[in-house]
Amino acid sequence: LSNAAFDKVWRNARLATLAPAAAGLGVVEHGAVASRAGRIAYAGPEHDLPSPGAAEIVDCGGRWITPGLIDCHTHLVYAGNRAAEFEQRLAGASYADIARAGGGIASSVAATREASLERLVAETLPRLDALIAEGVTTVEVKSGYGLDGPNEAKQLRAARQLAAHRPVGITTTFLGAHALPPGGDDKEAHIARVCNEMLPGVAAEGLADAVDAFCEGIAFSPEQVARVFTAARRHGLPVKLHADQLSDGGGARLAAEYGALSADHLEYASENGVAAMARAGTVAVLLPGAFYFLRETQAPPVALFRRHGVPMALATDSNPGTSPLTSILLAMNMGATLFRMTVEECIAGATREAAQALGLLRQIGTLETGKQCDLAVWSVDTISELIYRIGFNPLHLRVWNGQ
């Protein structure tokens, strides 16, 4: 066993490597992937696989292997849910009626503040398991339902703990500028607290890998977001932004100005904003689950992203209010059906482009030598079936970190 060149080889497979140098999906017929110490030691044609062999060989029976899927935008950690509110809305209640009765985001904040750390983890694990069951190997998780120092920190600690319970990569994002805390500060005071108390606390504890904000008329202004981004920069944390979801608030351009990893939603982004994103290398993270659940009608400007060469990622935006979605495969199908993305764009959107949106493209997102060995093996004849089918999970096996 000690003489084996590789820990494990997955052979007799078709690969979608997503390698940037290759055309399209980087397809390799008759391919194999080999791992050593949790990393990809080889990915390519099986007949070029170096010998001697491996401690363990897995025959994939001609199945497809893609990089493990990446959900790069979620609000997965929260307590309670908003099913009752959903039901009231279907029965004719307005958003204003629901807000007056203590519903909306305020109810998620109240439930999340009430919950212990252990309870938050326990309520989140079934949602995480649903993602894992579809071949997801990395999940981004935002705070934003605590909205004060201790509760934002609790949410981020719960997110970090998920990685101790399941074989999955978790990245965390501080979203203190998500909404106004119920019954508390006004917007200016909340932003001051985010910049001067909450963000420094979170950074000091190493609880966040990035900082996010919600730039919208119903949330925070570009000027307020800029202050949060400046504070993030001071603490050496990269930024991303909920931008131009419901109106063109100049969010795409603002994100680009701060060299954001990603700008997310972007239904109303202008061409100026898209061009600025291209220059800054900011990824467009598209979230069809929220578009669907809110019955929006303006799709994000996919043609502009293509024309300007902005990479498009796809994510679930899993959250209790506007996207109670825990299926990355459905998000990929919706990217095609609702946003007219191609099959290649949808697959790249949940692998390579999602990795770039997290600043992790050097570690994950493609099948290339040296990257973490995160794989999804699929029982499909053609890779387009991953996008075409609805409510069907063809995952055969999932490998995270070589295991």
Nearer to Zn ion, 38 or 80 (CB): 80
Q: How many CA atoms lie within 13 A of 127 on its CB side?
A: 28
Q: Shortest Cβ contact with Zn ion: which residue?
A: 317
- Smallest distance, Å, CB 183 to Zn ion? 23
Work out the burial of residue 279: count CB atoms within 10 Å of its CB; fewer than 13 is exposed, 13-18 middle, 19 or more buried: exposed
Residues in 80-109 at the binding interface with Zn ion, rule: CB under 5 A: none
| Region binding Zn ion by CB under 5 A among candidate stretches 185-193, 315-323, 364-372, 388-396 | 315-323
Using CB under 5 A as the binding rule, whether residue 244 contacts Zn ion is answered as: no
Nearer to Zn ion, 41 or 141 (CB): 141
The sign one gets for the Cα dihedral 346, 128, 65, 70 is positive
HEC string of 166-212?
Answer: CCCEEEEEEEEECCCCCCCCCHHHHHHHHHHHHHHHHHHCCCCCEEE
| Region binding Zn ion by CB under 5 A among candidate stretches 16-24, 232-240, 311-319, 340-348 | 311-319
Nearer to Zn ion, 216 or 317 (CB): 317
- Smallest distance, Å, CB 171 to Zn ion? 14
**3-state helix, strand and coil shares in percent for the chain, rounded to the nearest 5:** 35, 25, 40
Mask for 126-165, x = binds Zn ion (CB under 5 A): ----------------------------------------
By C-alpha distance, which of 345, 339, 332, 263 is closest to 301? Answer: 339
For 237-295, the DSSP string reads --EEEEESSSS--SHHHHHHHTT-SEEEE-TT--HHHHHHHHHHT-EEEE-HHHHHHTT
- Smallest distance, Å, CB 57 to Zn ion? 42
| Region binding Zn ion by CB under 5 A among candidate stretches 118-126, 314-322, 349-357, 392-400 | 314-322
How far, rounded to the nearest angstrom, does the alpha carbon of residue 80 sit from its chain's CA centroid?
A: 21
Nearer to Zn ion, 34 or 252 (CB): 252
Using CB under 5 A as the binding rule, whether residue 317 contacts Zn ion is answered as: yes
Nearer to Zn ion, 209 or 317 (CB): 317
Nearer to Zn ion, 175 or 387 (CB): 175
- Smallest distance, Å, CB 178 to Zn ion? 8
- Smallest distance, Å, CB 210 to Zn ion? 13
Amino acid at 51: S
- Smallest distance, Å, CB 173 to Zn ion? 10
- Smallest distance, Å, CB 75 to Zn ion? 6
Strands 169-177 and 210-215, by their bridges, are parallel
Strands 375-378 and 64-67, by their bridges, are antiparallel
Report whether 347 contacts 16 (CB < 8 A): yes
Strands 395-399 and 375-378, by their bridges, are antiparallel
- Smallest distance, Å, CB 315 to Zn ion? 8
- Smallest distance, Å, CB 325 to Zn ion? 11
Nearer to Zn ion, 95 or 392 (CB): 95
Report whether 347 contacts 18 (CB < 8 A): yes
| 3-state SS assignment for residue 349 | helix
Nearer to Zn ion, 317 or 368 (CB): 317
Residues in 169-228 at the binding interface with Zn ion, rule: CB under 5 A: none
The DSSP 8-state label assigned to residue 48 in this structure reads G
- Count of residues near Zn ion by CB under 5 A: 1
Nearer to Zn ion, 85 or 374 (CB): 85
| Region binding Zn ion by CB under 5 A among candidate stretches 45-53, 225-233, 300-308, 313-321 | 313-321
| 3-state SS assignment for residue 9 | strand
**Interface contacts to Zn ion, rule CB under 5 A:** 317
